[in-house]
A and B are shown apart, each in its own frame.
Chain A
Amino acid sequence: MSSQAFELKGEMSLLSVLLLSATNMSEIQTTLDEKRENAHQLLDRSPVIVDCQKVSEQATELDFAQLRKMIAETGLIPVGIRNLPEALENAASESGWALLRHGHSRVRATTLPEKTEAVDEDNATAVDSSDDDGTTAAVQRLRVVQRPVRSGQQIYCPDGDIVVMQQTSAGSELLAGGSVHVYGALRGRVLAGVQGDKTARIFCQNLEAELLSIAGRYRLLDDIEDDLKGQAVMVYLEGEKLKIAPI
C-alpha cells in the first residue's frame, strides 16, 4: 500500500452553494461584486458549487465559461455545477465545470436566494439521482427522538425539525433542514437550517454543544460566552451573526 501515492476516497465535505436566481450574466456579476465588497474575507478561496435548480428553465441563457471566470475573479473557487437540464450538461462540461449529481440537499423554494449557503454535499461519490425529478415521497417535517442521542449517532431530518426529548452526547450530531429542540443537555454538534433556512433556530435546556450552526454560520463551544454555557438558550441568526440568548 505504501507504494501508492494517494488513495481515492469518497467523503462528505462542507461546501458553499451558490444558488442562482437569475441567468442574466451582468446581473450575476453585480451580485458577485456586492458579495466581494461585503464579505471578501469570508469568501476568499473557498470552494463553491453552483446550483441551477431555480433557473433550470432559463439556463440556456447562461454562459458557462464566463460564469466560471466571474466566480473565480471574485476569489471563490468554482468546483462544480448541478441541477442543470440534461441538454446543457455538455456545454457546462466543455467549459470546465464538474457536473454534480444531485445528492440529498434539494434546496427549498422558501430559502432566500441571494446568498451562498453551506450544506452537506457528497461531492465525490453521489450517484443517487433518483430524486432529481422532484417526485420524492412525502417529506418528513418533524423527527422526534425519545432516547438520548449517543456519541457516534447522527440524526438527520433534511426537510424538517428535530425534537430530542432527552440529552445529546458529545460526539453526536443533529442535522435538520429546519429547527432543533433539545429537552435536555445539548452536548454534541447541532446543525440547523442545513439547506440554508436562515429562520431555523436551536433551542436547548442546557447548552454544552461542541458546535452550533444555522444555515452554515457556526460557533464552537470555546467561542461561546461562559455565562451562557449550561444555560437554557435559543440560538438564531441575526443577519450574518449567530446569536445565543438565554430563555
Chain B
Amino acid sequence: MTSGKGGVGKTTSSAAFATGLALRGYKTAVIDFDVGLRNLDLIMGCERRVVYDFVNVINGEANLRQALIKDKRTDNLYILPASQTRDKDALTQEGVGKVLEDLKADSFDFIICDSPAGIERGAAMAMYYADDAVIVTNPEVSSVRDSDRILGLLQSRTQKAEQGGTIREHLLITRYNPERVESGDMLGLEDVLDILAVPLIGVIPESGGVLQASNSGNPVILDTESTAGQAYDDFVRRFLGETVPHRFLEVEKKGIFKRLFGG
C-alpha cells in the first residue's frame, strides 16, 4: 500500500485490506514500514501489545514469532509493528527480504506492506519485494501527482522490475466525496483515472466511520454499517477476483425523513 503523499489513508486502507483478507480465511500479515512514526498498531488496536517490532526482527534481536501480534478480533490476522524509537535507516534490503521469506515459509497467503509517505528509504523498502501495488490516492491534484511519481518508481525500483518483469498496479481512491466533486472542489473519478491510467480497484467514500474506527482501534472494514466499511469490503472482493460494481459514486438523494432528521 503506497501513495507518495502522506495522510491519504494508506494505514487505514492497509488495516482494512488485511482484515478483509483474513476474514475470508487467508492467513495474512500486515507490516508497518513507517519506522519512527508507527501508526498501524493504533489503527489495529494493538498498541498495548507491542513487545518486539520489525526492526528487532531485522536485527536478529527477536524472532518473527515473538514480534508478530495475533489480532484478537480476526483469525488468521497478524500485525508486525514498526519501531517507534528508530528511523528508516534501520531497514535493510536483505533484512526486509529475509522477514518476507520467513513469512512465506510460515504459510502466510498475503503480506501487506504499509508504506510510509515519501519516496525515500522507507517507501523504497516497502515496495521493493512487491508482487502487487495498491496506490492510495485522494481526489486532489497533489495526491494524484505524487501517486504518478510512485507509479514511476514502481516501474524501476522493485525486484520484479529489475528482473525485467512488472508488478500489478491497482488504484484505490479514498476520501471520495461526490458532493464536492459535483461542486467542482474535488477531482472527479474520470479525471483521476485519466491522469493515472491505472486499473481502478476501489473508491472509498469520505465517511465519519473512518475517523471513528481509527480512534477506537477497529479496522473500518468491520463496521459493516458505514459506507467506507462496505466499500473496503468491495475492494477486497475485487482484489480476490470477483466482479463487483463500484458504489457510492453519486450524490445521495436525501429522502424527506433524512432531510428532516439528518442523515
Contact = CB atoms under 8 A, between A and B. Distances in A.
Interface of A: 147-153, 166-167, 169-172, 185, 187
**Most chain-A Cβ atoms within 10 A of its Cβ — which of B148, B151, B194?**
B148
Contact of B197 (A152, A153, A167, A170): A167
B197 A151 contact: no
29 contacts: A147-B166, A148-B151, A148-B197, A149-B152, A150-B148, A150-B149, A150-B151, A150-B152, A150-B155, A151-B145, A151-B149, A151-B152, A152-B148, A152-B149, A152-B152, A152-B153, A153-B152, A153-B155, A153-B156, A166-B197, A167-B197, A169-B145, A169-B152, A169-B195, A170-B145, A170-B148, A171-B148, A172-B152, A187-B195
B148 A169 contact: yes
Contact of A147 (B148, B149, B155, B194): B155
Contacts of B156: 153
A149 B156 CA distance: 12
Nearest to A184: B197
By Cβ-Cβ distance, the 5 closest A-B pairs, closest first, are A150-B152, A151-B148, A153-B152, A151-B149, A152-B149
Q: Is the interface of A mostly helix, strand, loop or mixed?
A: loop
Contacts of A166: 197
A150 B133 CA distance: 16
Contacts of A172: 152
Nearest to A149: B152
Nearest to B166: A147
A154 to B, nearest CB: 10
A167 B194 CA distance: 9
Contacts of A151: 145, 148-149, 152
A147 B166 CA distance: 11
B145 A171 contact: yes
A172 B152 CA distance: 10
Contacts of A152: 148-149, 152-153
A231 to B, nearest CB: 16
B141 to A, nearest CB: 9
Contacts of B155: 147, 150, 153
Interface string B61-74: 00000000000000
Contacts of B149: 150-152, 171
Contacts of A150: 148-149, 151-152, 155
A236 B134 CA distance: 40
Interface in B135-192: 145, 148-149, 151-153, 155-156, 166
A149 B197 CA distance: 11
Interface in B200-247: none
A231 B66 CA distance: 60
B186 to A, nearest CB: 18
Contacts of B166: 147
B170 to A, nearest CB: 15
Nearest to A206: B194
A183 to B, nearest CB: 12
A149 B151 CA distance: 9
B34 to A, nearest CB: 22
Nearest to B197: A148
A172 B151 CA distance: 12
A1 B152 CA distance: 33
Nearest to A153: B152
Given A169-B152, A169-B195, A171-B145, 20 more contacts: A147-B155, A147-B166, A148-B151, A148-B197, A149-B152, A150-B148, A150-B152, A151-B145, A151-B148, A151-B152, A152-B152, A152-B153, A153-B156, A166-B197, A167-B197, A169-B145, A169-B148, A170-B148, A171-B148, A185-B194
Contacts of A148: 151, 197
A167 B151 CA distance: 13
Nearest to A170: B145
Contacts of A167: 197
A52 B155 CA distance: 40
A202 to B, nearest CB: 20
A171 B195 CA distance: 12
Contacts of B152: 149-153, 169, 172
